[in-house]
Amino acid sequence: MKKWQKTAATLTLATTLLVPSFATAATTADTQMQYGKRSYDLLERLNMTPQQQSKLKYEQKSEKESVFSEDTIIVKYSSNKLSFTDHKRLGGYVIKSIPKLGYDVVKIQRGQKIDDVIKRYYSTGDVVYAAPSQKPQLYTTEFNDPKVSEQYFVDLLNIAEAQKLAGNNEVIVGVLDTPMDVNHPELKGKVLPPYNPYNPADPGDLYHFHATHVAGLVAAEANNNQGGIGVAPNVKIMPVAALDAYGGGSEYGVADAILYAVENGVDVINMSLGFPWYTPLIEEAVKVAVDAGVVVVASAGNSYDTHYNYPAALPGVITVGATNDQNKKAEFSTYGPQIDVVAPGEEVYSSVYAPGVGQSYADASGTSMSGPIVAGVAALIKSNYPDLNTYQIEQILEETATDLGDEGFDQEFGYGLVNPVAALNYDMSKLTEKPEMVASVDTAFAIQEREPGVYTRKGFIQTRFEEDWVKLPVVAGEQVQAILQSSENYDHMMELRFYPEGATESQEPIVVSKQREGEAESTLFTAEENGTLLVGVKDRNENFAPGAASMYELALIKSTEIPADESTKEAPLPLGALPVDSDDFYLALSEEQIEAQKEEMKQLQEQLKEEDMYYYDPMSNVIADKDYFTFSVDVPTKMKLNVSGVPGINITLKLYDEMMFNQPMPEGMPAWEKRYWPWAMQETNMNGDGEGETLAFEAYPGMTYVLEVAGNGFSYDDFWYYRPLPVSSGDDEFEVKSSFIPYNVTAEAVEMPADEDNYPMMDYPMYDEEMVKEIEAKEVGAAKATDDVIIIGESRSYWSSIGSEQVDQITQSALDFPLSTVQSGYFQTQWDEDWYNVSVEDTAIYEFSAPMTESLRPAIFLYEYDAEKNEMYMVGDPWMSYYYYPMEQTDVTIRTILEKDKQYFLQVRNDYYWSFDEYSVSFKKILDAPVDKNENNNEFIRATIMEPGKTLRGNFAQNNDLDIYYYKHTDPKAALGFLAETVELTDAQKDEIPEELRQPLDFIVSIVEDTDGNLQLSEDEILKSMQYYSRNWGQDAKFSGAFNAKKDVGYFFIVESWSWGSINVKEYEMSLFNYEGSDEDKDGRALALTADGAGKWKATGKLNGFVDFGDRDTYELNVAEKGLVTMELELPSGLDGVITVYDSAKNVIATFNTYLQDDNEYASLELEKGKYFVEVSDAMKRSHTDNYTLHVEWKK
């Protein structure tokens, strides 16, 4: 199942100023939001309590997880568009229209709530879809300091050989991405005019490297003595800014970008971006492209799991996962049945535009990089065969891919690693034409009747585009229940087509594709006239497998008789005495019941309009059966009610008090309340389609209870993100949920053991659901008012602290939780919570994990105990360990560091729904904490002493850690510098350490002068502090700084992570050094190069600190004969080299500043015979105590 995907990092250039004096350092004490980073205030940070530090990490995580717009919705009309006046009345105004697809983009008026506005739009009857606009994500993870030789994909995929096989037809590749540097040397001359759908008059700012990097992988120039090469250097690039300069955007912007590319003659589209949820707007735009013959390539995503991202999971899209240089799946890469092929996506070298430097090159990681490699291969194929469509290109790529992993198709690698040479040598006679429609009454199989009214077929999807069709004659009034069970690794779907008697064309097809691989699809079809029903089975992702791997089982159950509705609202059926194991019941509807529900819903909608109440119930268009059962008990009884699952039906259980249930609806009740009358005491809708539901509660004597089993359940996520078109109340828009498949009810009394910890010490009253909601709202409101709780989206996760009164009870009742044990227990009441006392002998990283069951959703939270204040505050929450999809976890897990001198308490409780299942929580050590020899240096009085020339190593593995160092300068005034950089993990460490504990380490160094020498800092001293940091976001930090130190004055160095509160086991190194020696060429004379072989020279020197305008060393080069001169400048870590070549008169001939920090700078130029000067410097005027080396080579 799925983990939370890491948010794709927004990356920029790694440069930080090394300044010549303390007073003019890079930034003030308040580092404001820039380069994508959160603002930083040292004074605020140092004054924070541990509780405030813990709370902040929840705020920081919450900021990153926003997926949907809060002020923009996408609206689609059934027929008539709304007028300006209508939009104004509904609370919105149109900011963009996409007439080709029938959509408007609507901005919410100020002061309006987006949910309320959506309800109003649905209530008009003219809107068939309204939902918040999604924010697309870039699929890039890291940005490292590159070496050209690390462009491993060129050799791995034999790109040079593939390029020899390319044809002469012009191919246009659309890069739908951020704004692109169209003048980059690798792209200039091959880029078409850029287009920005958000502002067509402005191509967009060049802030983000992403598009330039992607375009370089597709088409970077070859043989230009610069950078790397692209897969298809001869293609044209169409840059379309589907995202803005910072990687943000919207689904309507991406859709507009697709339509623009198609209308302007694009041949291949690459989208290294996506949305985590289905969006019909994007599907319709992609269909336009596919139907036009455009090859569409999309990156699978960086979710670390099998989540379907879009457009990658849409029909006709070539979906690309990522591998590394060892042909292993990249850790971050999304995988699953939607993957077609994979390509290198980890640390891939390409062109970039970097703010502050401009045109350069760098490594980046993500499926964003693997996608354009495949798009480039598709372009090479199209250069030979320009008429091939996306399906044909996909076939070529899949059938020629190098098999990785399990033989044949598998979920990690799809059909394998893209093989460009094999693809370009493909025998085109083997191509399979995708059929428009293979369904036909004449060609479909006559499905066999296995028993009266039951027809079954076991089949296999063994060939490309295979669709198996069966036919079944039906007469008017007959109903057919279709059930499809897929094999484990394949996601099959059904399509139903009905041919009326004598007709040659079918009615509107019914597509059934809600479940994932290995799960059952189901629907009920009703014949309104005589005819033939065709049912087709195909793979949603167009996968296939020889043999039996892609097996399915199809069952059709035909009947003219609707199962009797034995348990109605007017006449509930008694369940009888416990235990109960009922006969079969059916959530089936007759035509009369369907029509009656439709009429009732229409009347409700009319009343809502009359009352001017803009209200929309997500399931108000769902027609479903509801069954009712009654029961009572003689003694207080804890009861467990279970209803088995029905394929294709999402079941909701509701529990009522019979007296309340039978009360007549009050006169004058508002229409919106009628949908919920009568009010339920308790309900559950925990699981999805085809799954059962369990209700746990305590029944009391003297009451009669009513159980409602309804087939119209839904999850919030299903409604917004998986239903292709949430529909309005039009007559043709109702969705009928009915089934011939039986369910049964079981009920039993449950004997619960005594409460494990006797906490809480009181039983809670049995409230109905509305009372519980009211109490919850008051509690949350009160907590918010005191700033004690941060609510995290829909995940029911929050940060909290606990006051002394509760702490006394918890500390007295908590059970011991020894390491390497599993603790189990039960929740004796819906509000029960069990507490465990946790302490450890070793500071290390530990894991608490609690598995879920069908009805149990345990919630675990870790608190640190402050004995001095007698308070607890939260330091561990499973939400902090997840990526994007917590609802799909199978275990609730906390991974965190525990310190040996601290006391912790683990809270275990229900996550909303009560369950009688036994919970279990394991507690184990997963990793030794990295040793920090300087701890505890979190306080000024305990600061670690620094000395020039000595390297110190630290980490931020402890919760909310910061490290403080102190240097006392006793010599006369001198120039001092420091270097700070992340220590790279070994491959063995990467294999051992969980991914979330080794995220890029991005930290900040603050230097504060201890003016009064008291080894403490005053507010005035802090306000004069200087901060130094890497300008990267989402990569390991590496930077340097410098200042003028004063005699007998001390300096604090305060080092901490940008994302403090998060745990990271990576280490950093800090070193302080004196700028010694003098500038080698301060007298203005050029230095001499040293011979290093025939036609070769080299020089070694230092870029010294505190030289006005930065040190620049100049060397004399004498060229004896015209030839090609190449130069390579190797610089110490943290510098960005520049090579400048002058003629004998000191006129600049050429300057080379192409490559980024920590990447060797290269120069190549033809020089005539004569004397020249070669100058080396740092792009940011920085200095270093380590040597650089300059290599020069002459060739005739």
Positions marked active-site? 177, 210, 368
Given a contact cutoff of 8 angstroms between Cβ atoms, the answer to whether 998 and 986 are in contact is: no
Name the residue among 55, 254, 131 with its Cα closest to residue 1060. Answer: 55
In angstroms, the CA 533 to CA 474 distance is 7
Q: How far is CA 739 from the centre of its chain?
A: 36
Given a contact cutoff of 8 angstroms between Cβ atoms, the answer to whether 482 and 523 are in contact is: yes
DSSP string for residues in 94-129: EEEEETTTTEEEEEEPTT--HHHHHHHHHHTSSEEE
Contacts of 1025 (CB under 8 A, 6+ apart): 29, 42, 1006, 1007, 1008, 1054
Given a contact cutoff of 8 angstroms between Cβ atoms, the answer to whether 742 and 586 are in contact is: yes
Contacts of 454 (CB under 8 A, 6+ apart): 555, 556, 557, 558
Q: How far is CA 762 from CA 89, 650, 824, in A?
A: 51, 36, 21
How far apart are the two ends of the chain, measured CA to CA in Å?
62
Pair type for strands 580-581 and 510-512: unpaired
Name the residue among 1114, 1112, 1117, 1113 with its Cα closest to residue 1090. Answer: 1117
SS3 854: coil
SS3 81: coil
DSSP string for residues in 1121-1187: SSEEEEEEEE--TT--EEEEEE-TTS-EEEEE--S-TTS-EEEEEEE-SEEEEEEEEETT----SSP
Contacts of 190 (CB under 8 A, 6+ apart): 219, 221, 233, 234, 235, 236, 237
| DSSP bridge pairs for 981 | 1038, 1069
Q: How far is CA 634 from the centre of its chain?
A: 52
- Which residue reads 């000595």 in tokens? 950
- Which residue reads 């040190």 in tokens? 1111
Name the residue among 404, 411, 418, 332 with its Cα closest to residue 373. Answer: 418
Cα-based torsion angle of the residue sequence 1067, 1072, 1076, 1081 in order, rounded to the nearest 10 degrees: 50
Q: Which long-range contacts (CB under 8 A, 24 or more apart) does 865-871 make?
A: 865/807, 865/811, 865/902, 865/903, 865/904, 865/905, 866/50, 866/51, 867/903, 869/804, 870/804, 870/807, 870/808, 871/51, 871/801, 871/802, 871/803, 871/804, 871/807
| DSSP bridge pairs for 1060 | 1062
In angstroms, the CA 79 to CA 125 distance is 10
In angstroms, the CA 475 to CA 524 distance is 15
In angstroms, the CA 242 to CA 211 distance is 10
The neighbour count for residue 1163, using CB atoms within 10 Å, is 22
In angstroms, the CA 222 to CA 447 distance is 58
Q: What is the CA radius of gyration of the chain?
A: 34
SS3 46: helix
In angstroms, the CA 371 to CA 298 distance is 6
The neighbour count for residue 59, using CB atoms within 10 Å, is 13
Burial (CB < 10 A; 0-12, 13-18, 19+), residue 442, is: exposed
> Amino acid identity of 125?
G
